[in-house]
Structure 1
């Protein structure tokens, strides 16, 4: 008897000593920031939560610094998106619930709701919403429904009501008219249809209506529930090619990650900054007949998506494959050169040509030819003009490479800073486009002075240099001097001709192709830039006078401004959209 009482006493002592440690815990993530008045005011409440024996509260301080976000800022942004909660502090996340304390009028109400939720969940073991930097919650209520279409069974009313009434829900609907789904049904222990399985419970949909099923699912709404362990989900593979420095791409990825919490969607991501990944993207472009590159690219089955605005279509496509599964799409090998020839070369050539008809470049060559006319050296026009044009091509290429390297350096220092520089360039391009339109109006009114032109002191310097280089010298020497003059002229005129070049390079860089591909674009661009110079040179060589060319130049001057303005506006709006929207 004494031994019996001794054992009972030992068990009692053990229970009271270790029961507090064995009790289930509820994880809470609390986000706050410095200089947050409400955060300071609710600090006693935060300490109260920390003192609750079953609560594990982790604090995350955020900075809200867009140019230098912390790891906590990124976590908070993801959680805000997944929970569809305010992106503001102070806020608490518990299981599938969030509680925002930013509205002073509702603080006491939020406290009561949070405490009530914690006590409701105190009998469960609820991990924190964030574990080692990864989001664990929200978790969906996973519901498995089997039906037989060959018997005319329809469970869409149940599915629709569940998706409407349950905040985080995932419904896998399997038609047992197919042999493979009958095998799955047998594995999970269901032996009749139509049936809904929630947790370990089976509900005959012939006996229970949709509202009853929703009521049963509601019990799990705050914590979520997994599918039966014997249910082997068939993954739906999707390939996402995107730029991690592109805001719209990041938002697109967040939407897809949220979708992956509701469906067995396996998203394989590829950073298009990496050359191998970009080359692979070109392969998929070729297979899916994509003629216009995008910053975000999603491939599911035989479908291609590229925008956050297509999320409804994407979800519809994913739901098609639930219970069936879908392998990753494959693609045939396509080289960047092939893609360049097929889709991009015309656009790049057009931009180079538009830059080449810039009035500054035209004026320089006509000015140059006029000097040759004056010194009676018509036989020297062709070699000297070609030498001059070649120098401009080479110099402009080196200038382009230098600007490109500058963009790479800036982005290597801070991808966020690089993003804002691209946005600034886009805004500047829009402004320059407006100025070009205004110049067009001034020219049509007969005004001689326009906004976008070479400064007067540089025009005079250009004239002195050309006069110096076209003095009576031997042809070879004159050609060498012309080559040097071309280099000097390119540098002087960059203030006027560089408007489109810099915008072009920034736009190319923001699209994230490999550097080698951008260099190829630049070579094509620069060749087209000198094509108008070569045409003018040819016209003069076959008999046109510099005066006739100058008169023609004056007549088309306004329309040139109009074309340049349109191109700058389109490219500027494109860049601003890519960066900020």
Structure 2
């Protein structure tokens, strides 16, 4: 009978443990209250308490939360410590994120592990450090530790006008000792004496060193923080002054040059000639069609600019991604400058009877689509309001060509969020300058000037337009680089 019961016990035990079993050292991570921009980390232990290999895949709900390993394979009773890091830049208020653990444990196939806390925006803090957290590793009976806690730190708090929080780690607890060894290794220390106090990235070890240097080290941390904040204030002030000094003239000039783009110029001439000659429209109706058309172009260009701003605005100005983005656009704009100057030379050769290729122009296929689009649109009964939608449609098609100047100009104007309203005003001016050549051409044709004469006039000055376009591209490329460097 006893043997039978023993066999049953073995069978039950085999059922319980004949699978991988996932175990985590803590149920969640609450990091408390931190300042925006602070980078914090913690370590958690994952253990396989089953008798088969445990497979763990780790993912996070946000790029701001990272782990030092994404895949684990743990043999029975094996355990590993993983490091979590959280970058609070760009976040504020009560936040919650997740670390997702996917395992082959039949009982814990998917675990959403919570990371939570409160992030206080930098705008709610003064430019001086108000609190500091230090770590203390010690053993029971540490006399100097008690002295530090009850006498030394209160005096430092009073002198520096700062609140000091102490995270205590008794080394008799195994996980605290493992953390101590890990911190020691991470900061590049060896054979550290006990007790030890971690202040920033420095470890004070031994009773004498702690008593002698703890005040100076805390003071250094406070000083470094204030210096960083001062640099940030100076940098922000320089950015504001830079955008304030941005003259309206370059924006107006870029808009006019973009409006003289062969793509935009040819389209308005074609539209007027087509309506006047082929469709036999009256001048009154032609006037209304032109007004609606130009207004459609203006609105479309303005909305495209706002959309591009929102896309660019999601990238932080000082982030690595943003710097790469601005440098990349600066390089592309510089290439466009070279192509514009090359087009100027190519047009000169063509006029002299030679052969050459013009790079920056609307492809023939798109040009035919525009003409076809105009032809179909003018067959509608209500042709006057159709002019507005005609302007919208053609603007989108032409953006392939005209956007070469528009995009880098928008990027520079909207690089500084602190003066968003002024930058928006510049964008409106740019769009007005863009449609100004269309308005002038429209008025000339409306009052009897032959469209062929306008085209011939433009052909004479197309080399000048290409040269000015190259200059604008070159200046914009320098502005892109100035945002980064």
Length-normalised TM-score, structure 2: 0.54
Q: Which residue in 2 is equivalent to 1:50?
A: 192
1:349 positional shift = 2.1
Q: 1:398 & 1:44 partners in 2: Cα distance? A: 51
Work out whether 1:347 is the aligned partner of 2:228: no
What is the DSSP-based 3-state SS (H/G/I as helix, E as strand, rest coil) of the residue aligned with 1:295?
Answer: helix
State the SS of the aligned residue for 1:551. Answer: helix
CA distance in 2, matches of 1:463, 1:368: 8
Q: Would the aligned equivalents of 2:196 and 2:210 in 1 still touch at CA under 8 Å?
A: no
Q: Corresponding residue for 2:277?
A: 374
- Work out which of the residue numbers 387, 391, 406 in structure 2 matches 1:486: 391
Residue of structure 2 equivalent to 1:257? 227
CA distance in 2, matches of 1:555, 1:561: 12
Contact 1:396–1:490 (CA under 8 A) maintained in structure 2: yes
Distance 1:59 1:437 in 2: 55
Gaps spanning 5+ residues in structure 2: where? 1-140, 153-181
C-alpha displacement of 1:505: 1.3
Shift of 1:451: 1.2
1:429 aligns with 333
Cα distance change, pair 523–20 in 1 and its aligned pair in 2 (3 A): closer
Find the aligned partners of 2:369 and 2:326 in 1 and give their Cα distance.
32
Tell me what 2:306 maps to: 401
Match of 2:463 among 532, 554, 558: 558
Distance 1:425 1:128 in 2: 49
1:103-139 residue CA offsets vs partner (Å, 9 max, x unmatched): xxxxxxxxxxxxxxx99x959711388659x73578x
Contact 1:128 / 1:136 at 8 angstroms: preserved in 2? no
Once the 2 structures are TM-superposed, how far is the Cα of residue 532 of structure 1 from its aligned partner?
Answer: 0.4
> Taking structure 1 as reference, are residues 469 and 135 closer, same or farther at Cα in structure 2, changes over 3 Å only?
same
After superposition, the Cα gap between the structure-2 partners of 1:499 and 1:47, relative to the gap in structure 1 and judged at 3 Å, is closer
Q: Are residues 269 and 455 of structure 1, via their aligned partners in 2, closer, same or farther at CA, if it must alter by over 3 Å? A: same
Contact 1:361 1:497 in 2 (8 A): yes
Partner of 1:29: none
Hey, which of these two has a bigger chunk of strand by percent? 2
Could you tell me how far apart the structure 2 residues matched to 1:384 and 1:434 are?
38
In structure 1, which of residues 546, 550, 570 is the aligned counterpart of residue 451 of structure 2? 546
CA distance in 1, matches of 2:186, 2:221: 27
Q: CA deviation at 1:425?
A: 2.0
Please give the secondary structure, in 2, of the residue aligned with 1:543. coil
Partner deviation per Cα, 1:149-198 (whole Å, 9 max, x = no partner): xxxxxxxxxxxxxxxxxxxxxxxxxxxxxxxxxxxxxxxxxxxxxxxxxx
Match of 1:219 in 2: none
Deviation string for 1:329-382 (max 9, x for gaps)? xxxxxxx9xx79xx7433332222122111111011111122124313362432
1:64 matched residue in structure 2: none
Matched residue of 2:233: which SS? strand
Distance 1:384 1:19 in 2: 88
Unpaired runs of 5+ in structure 1? 1-15, 25-39, 61-92, 96-117, 139-253, 261-265, 273-280, 282-293, 298-305, 307-335
**C-alpha distance in 2, partners of 1:537/1:466?**
16
Contact (CA 8 Å) 1:426, 1:572: kept in 2 or not? yes
Corresponding residue number in structure 1 for 2:212: 125
May I ask how many residue pairs the two structures share in their alignment? Answer: 306
Q: What is the CA RMSD across the aligned residues, in angstroms?
A: 4.1
Q: Normalised by the size of structure 1, how large is the TM-score?
A: 0.45
Are the structure 2 counterparts of residues 449 and 466 from structure 1 closer, same or farther at C-alpha, using a change threshold of 3 Å? farther
Q: Distance in 2 between matches of 1:468 and 1:546?
A: 21
